[in-house]
Amino acid sequence: MKIFNAPQIKELDIYTLQEQKITSAQLMERAADKCATWLRNKYPTHTHFTVFCGLGNNGGDGLAIARILLAHQYKVTVYIMKHSPNTSPEFEENLALLKDIITIRTIISEKHIPPIEEHSVIIDAMFGAGINRPIEGICKTLIDKINKLDNPKVAIDIPSGLPCDVENFSKNQTILVADYTLTFEAPKLTFLLPKTAYYVGNWKILSIGLSENYKQTIESEYAYIGAKDILKIIKKREPFSHKGTFGHVEIIGGSYGKIGAVVLATKASLRIGAGLATAYTPNCGMQVLQSTVPESMWTGNLPCEYFLEGNYISTHKTVGIGPGLGIHPKTQTFLNLVIKATKTPMVIDADAINILARNKEWLSEIPENSIVTPHPKEFERLVGTFSNDAEKLKKLRLFASTYKCIVVLKGAHTAIADINGNIYFNSTGNPGMATGGSGDVLTGMITGLLAQKYSPIQAALLGVYLHGLAGDLTIKEIGMPSLMASDLVNYIGKATLHI
């Protein structure tokens, strides 16, 4: 699902009107009906709604929603923010339809800002995705007041004051903090990033029938990956396949006291479907691996007892390196040898990333199309600090293109950057997955998919999606606080059946 900026959304709306031979007011009615349906399913008929409307099309949405809710016997109070002499035609059309049904109040100064009923649900329909300047004056005063209230707050399309594009965001702007945001057709980029997602709350995509044909023609560097996208990637297994068909994974990592990371990654690589797996660890990991993952093989590099060191000879397996590796100076040299010996895409995680951050001259030696999977702090060590999400995305894109690798920047809505400058945001996962070992499971999953001849970008997208889905299925049964990384391994199979 492509993510559009504000001008692209406007173009898509205009094309839809022409293609479907409808008016802007009719499209607005569709959007309002979808929002009102969501609100009716969420709140019982005794609920009171307080709707604040701007003077443009977002305000027109609010007026239409109020009219539909009134028709379904809800109690609704409507306020119009008179912040400008200008209005949109769609706003005027919906105002005419509503003012014969209820009395509409106008706010033109601070003294007109009303007290709001304690349990009333506030509908924010003041400013939409097209806003291009900070909110000031009476609207700023009202939003500041609303943000201090405990009332449930539902934003229509986007919280008032929040820009569509992250480059236009400043933490000093006045922005309504919503509990829910009902947006149309696709998420906005600002919904998916840490600094700006705070204002959005829980968001829901409502389809209003915008032109699918025109969506295909719009070029966007951003996409949001859902189940439909993943179904296009997954391969079927042929009847005469054998274990060699699905590749041989080599998980390289571990150090004394951190062998569990390799156990998790190795198990995950097999659970995602790799035909064979070998764990490559110091000698202290041999008995652990042989007893906990009997399906795997083990190898080491004598005489490394407690950390990996010495020579490395490639066996042309699909390499995933980093879980539990440690950063001993001899291990750093060993990593460099692995990178030089590996000629096909590999997965680089955890301490392997931390070693590369200390030896940045080695980054250019990484095999093309390798997959690097940092969490935010590891990413900072690679690229340096950044002051905001816009700068972070620029550095993410630059790193991927410079080193011709795929970067999986882990977190809520994990961002996956490819070598062509595209960034994909994931739709699965939950905060329960913020636990030790979760990243090791992901490393094993992506390595296992890479071994099965998925392309590197497919392995990254599919691995991240199924990893998050395994987490989502886990918490439904055991709850979010109880989730452990080993639970994710156990739910990989259910995740693959679920999509």
Q: Which residues are annotated as a binding site for K(+)?
A: 58, 124, 160
Residue 368 identity (one-letter amino acid): E
CA 260 to chain CA centroid, nearest Å: 28
Query: How many Å apart are CA 368 and CA 419, to the nearest integer?
Result: 9
What the block records as the tokens of 481 is 């606080």
Query: How many Å apart are CA 146 and CA 176, to the nearest integer?
Result: 8
Query: How many Å apart are CA 492 and CA 498, to the nearest integer?
Result: 10
The residues with which 280 forms a beta bridge, in sequence order, are: 252, 299
Please tell me whether the peptide bond between 303 and the residue prior to it is cis, using omega within 30 degrees of 0. Answer: yes
Strands 406-409 and 415-417: antiparallel
Considering only CA atoms, give the Rg of the chain.
26
Phi and psi torsions of 246, nearest 5°: -105, 15
What the block records as the tokens of 185 is 């057709």
Find, among 266, 193, 320, 317, the residue nearest to 441 by Cα. Answer: 266
- Looking at residue 303, the DSSP 8-state letter turns out to be T
- Annotated binding-site residue numbers for (6S)-NADPHX: 57-61, 128-134, 157, 261, 324, 375, 440
Give the N- to C-terminal CA distance of the chain in Å, as an integer.
Answer: 16
H helix intervals, 234-360: 260-271, 286-292, 329-341, 350-358
CA distances from 336 to 349, 358, 404, 406 (A): 14, 12, 18, 19
- Annotated binding-site residue numbers for AMP: 410-414, 439
- Annotated binding-site residue numbers: 57-61, 124, 128-134, 157, 160, 261, 324, 375, 410-414, 439-440
Find, among 386, 329, 337, the residue nearest to 358 by Cα. Answer: 329
CA distances from 225 to 211, 369, 423, 460 (A): 19, 20, 10, 12
Helix (H) / strand (E) element for 155: namely strand 153-156
What the block records as the tokens of 152 is 């449930």
Query: How many Å apart are CA 192 and CA 224, to the nearest integer?
Result: 9
